[in-house]
Amino acid sequence: MEKPSINELFAVLLARDFHAEDRTIMVGANMPMARAAAVMANVTTHPDARISIGLGVQGLGDGGDPPAVHPFLFDPRTMAAEALMFQGRVFDDMHSPDVFFVGGLQVDQRGNLNLFGIPDGEGGWKMRGPGSIALATMSAYCAGYYIVMPSHSTRTFVERVALISALGDATERARLKLPGGGIRMLLSPLGVFDFNDAGDMRLRSLHQGVTLEEVQEATGFELDVPDQVPVTPGPTDEEMQLLRERVDVYGTLA
């Protein structure tokens, strides 16, 4: 079998990490790896979950046909679903979303995420991102969220983000009484990360072939590195078969 792409690896790692009690998994725009993860979990470990993908809400635990991972989230084919995701009503149900996924231009040592861009310090923009979509809201409320960073360098992993789109800092979240559970896990092309008891980013595992020095050089702050850092367990043949043959049939993650 061909080597997994980074997005395929992300999909498998996310699908493995969902908690047993997760019932509602919601996926935002430009996160096809999260769409695949939600479907994978729904057809295997999480038959009772409801997954919100694009315009549709699915429950695939009875063997229903998984929706393909289309290049665009809001594809009309996602309306072949058991319920629809109404953008004007989805925020009326803030007790319900358990899991959400976010990406960003920058992440910092405390887990804060920036999708706004980099201001120029004079009221304008040095680099403008797309806007924060629903990051602030979903990260405030959902039981837990995953950060998926498409690149890992000293430009994207910084000591302090220029602007906070999603507040990850556990201390600040508690002070502001945010109801959600905060960050569960962070994935980058180099490794898997979480946050220690003090709320600082910690290395959990290194992807196959990545060295500790590489990660430290690509990170703009001092990572918490435990004594033993395992290699990220790669996808099994079974997981890859499920992903490629039933879930990502168009090869969007390839």
Partner 1 sequence: MPLGGRSSSLSEIDDAIACVVDGTTVGIGGAVTAGHPMALVRALARRGVRDLTVVAPTGGIEVDLLIAAGCVSRIVGSYVGIEAIAGVGPVYRSAIESGRVEVVDLDEAHCVAGLRAAGQGLPFLPWRGGVGTAFPQLNPTLIEFDDPVRGEPLLAIPAIELDVALIYAEVSDCYGNAQPVGTGHMDALLGSAAKQVVIQVDRVVSTEEIRRNPEKTIYWPGSKVVKAPFGTHPYSNGWMTSDEQHLVDFVAAAKGGDETLSEYLRVHVLEPEDNDAYLETVGIRRISSLLI
Could you tell me the smallest distance in angstroms from the CB atom of residue 56 to partner 1?
9
Alpha helices by DSSP H, 18-150: 32-43, 135-141
In sequence order, what are the beta bridge partners of 117? 128
Q: What is the SS3 assignment for 214? A: helix
Contacts of residues 91-94 at CB distance under 8 Å and 24 or more positions apart, as own/partner, are 91/134, 91/137, 94/137, 94/141
Helix (H) or strand (E) holding 58: strand 56-58
Beta carbons of 21 and 47 less than 8 angstroms apart: no
Residues numbered 42-61 forming contacts with partner 1, rule: CB under 8 A:
55
In sequence order, what are the beta bridge partners of 24? 50
Among 25, 135, 183, 203, binds partner 1 (CB under 8 A): 135
Could you tell me the smallest distance in angstroms from the CB atom of residue 252 to partner 1?
8
Q: Is 121 in the site for partner 1 (CB under 8 A)?
A: no
Beta carbons of 156 and 106 less than 8 angstroms apart: yes
| Per rule CB under 8 A, count of chain residues that contact partner 1 | 50
Residues numbered 213-232 forming contacts with partner 1, rule: CB under 8 A:
none
Q: Is 29 in the site for partner 1 (CB under 8 A)?
A: yes
Among 59, 96, 153, 163, binds partner 1 (CB under 8 A): 163
- Stretches 12-20, 171-179, 226-234, 235-243: which one binds partner 1 (CB under 8 A)? 171-179
Among 3, 19, 64, 72, binds partner 1 (CB under 8 A): 72
Q: Write out the residues near partner 1 by the rule CB under 8 A.
A: 29-30, 32, 55, 70-77, 79, 84-88, 91, 114, 116, 124-141, 163-167, 172-173, 176-179
